[in-house]
Structure 1
């Protein structure tokens, strides 16, 4: 109780510094939390797109589709291979374009037998597509895959992640030094009082506790405000995206809870360690 009372007293002594640190930490934690959620969600979207990527290979006339499929299934990169005979392919096309059924009796089926190949790792799509194109029964011009868009998204995500990580690092460092500055100001304001306490026998741990509590209060209050703002902002963005594109995945409440706990842990670390480092610097031995 003594440590808490002294921490609250410190806030009253220098409210401007405390408010500045609280505001800085709140902005930093809000941006950190929201950027982290958006990056996590973007990872989910890219992962969902990657899971839908498949390679389509059109077999040459007269090729044995089942034999080619058996060969491709032996490749270590391949998860599954589906053979679509040309009659089935035509039937599927007629479902999308019913008027084609009227011409069925007038012309021969021009579609080839097709292989649809799914991979264990979508990152190998381009490599496997080349291997399929090298098969005599297929040829390099008869392979298609939707990996180009996903590859661009993966590269974009890598760039965004790098920029976001740099931003997060700067926000963490800024918050850390803001906490240290506020604690140092508290120590300066109580320098004579602390000197007397140490001279009459107070332990260093007893002297340090109020400052550690002050640092924790600053970052925890900022983190709680940031979580409220960040969750509201993310829900608004997620709901808007879901209304526009319902197929896009969004983070579940459990995911947001996990991210919230992570932010609180980070806030405790920054508040405690920043305060501890300031106290350790200013209370070195008995020279206060």
Structure 2
């Protein structure tokens, strides 16, 4: 059984070598497809990173009413917020801390001195800054916080923040759908190339059947051949992904537009993408060749 396994692998490599022109043609089609897939996987992966950064930076600001400033009341409010679904962290900021942060926004010394006169009768509120684990849950969580006794006002950026997060999620979903569609296209291309190879070796297949070879025995070398073609087609996209992404990352300093739009670090991102591309190439090669040879063997039965 082990000898038969290695024989199929050997025959697969021989098949690729004997039909080099068709193999190169098929591998080239896979290469082009995987290059496009690589680009969209890079975009989708970075959209994931950007979305997580934005979801982490878009926090819900909950301001405490003046009549709920006792420590026991603040502790109760904080506990109520922590118990809400999707809440990751709750950070408390006293009205004095809020005043200090407001002071830091003014660079003009005269403006700071004028503002300082209000410190004793600080009109600001104690506040809680809430981080959630899902951008789509911002509005719902903000409404639940607003309903907690002692919370006067809540701010989370409104519908514009939700729209931005949802837009990024749509880009990620669209990229995933496109990757799936391109993978199907690669399967179609390999299936047709293997089909030509099968027709060119129809006499060989007929002889194998005449001597009693089973369909599985006949099919195995073609499946291996398809996987090899898929792996060969993945070489250039993998090199493009590794060196191209590292070059772009270094060139841009890992930042797109602003610090909010940080790129995914190359390691282990490019290694993960490379393994995925290799896996896609081999799987589509396997599926394409299996479909093609199975259809031919049924037709010739």
Q: Please, what TM-score do these two structures have when normalized by structure 2?
A: 0.79
* 1:66 and 1:83 in contact (8 A); partners too: no
Unaligned runs of 5+ in 1: none
Secondary structure at 1:269's aligned position in 2?
helix
CA distance in 2, matches of 1:79, 1:199: 68
Instruction: Report the alpha carbon displacement of residue 220 of structure 1 after superposing the two structures with TM.
Output: 0.6
CA distance in 2, matches of 1:282, 1:174: 20
Secondary structure at 1:256's aligned position in 2?
helix
Unaligned runs of 5+ in 2: 1-9
CA distance in 2, matches of 1:55, 1:257: 36
1:148–1:71 Cα change, 3 Å: farther
CA distance in 2, matches of 1:194, 1:106: 94
Aligned to 1:262: 276
CA distance in 2, matches of 1:92, 1:251: 32
Aligned to 1:175: 186
Aligned to 2:5: none
CA offsets 1:215-247 (integer angstroms, 9 cap, x no match) = 122111111211111233333443326255356
CA offsets 1:8-42 (integer angstroms, 9 cap, x no match) = 1122xxx2x44442222112112212212321221
* 1:7 and 1:211 in contact (8 A); partners too: no
Q: Please, what TM-score do these two structures have when normalized by structure 1?
A: 0.82
Instruction: Report the alpha carbon displacement of residue 118 of structure 1 after superposing the two structures with TM.
Output: 1.7
* 1:219 and 1:268 in contact (8 A); partners too: yes
CA offsets 1:111-137 (integer angstroms, 9 cap, x no match) = 312212324545443234334445675
Secondary structure at 1:74's aligned position in 2?
helix
CA distance in 2, matches of 1:95, 1:105: 11
1:153–1:251 Cα change, 3 Å: farther
**Corresponding position: 1:34 with 2:39:** yes
1:24–1:241 Cα change, 3 Å: farther
**Corresponding position: 1:127 with 2:140:** yes
Give the counterpart of 2:52 among 40, 47, 54.
Answer: 47
1:203–1:38 Cα change, 3 Å: same
Aligned length: 281
CA distance in 2, matches of 1:28, 1:201: 39
> Over the residues paired in the alignment, what is the CA RMSD in angstroms?
3.0
CA distance in 2, matches of 1:105, 1:223: 65
Instruction: Report the alpha carbon displacement of residue 186 of structure 1 after superposing the two structures with TM.
Output: 1.0
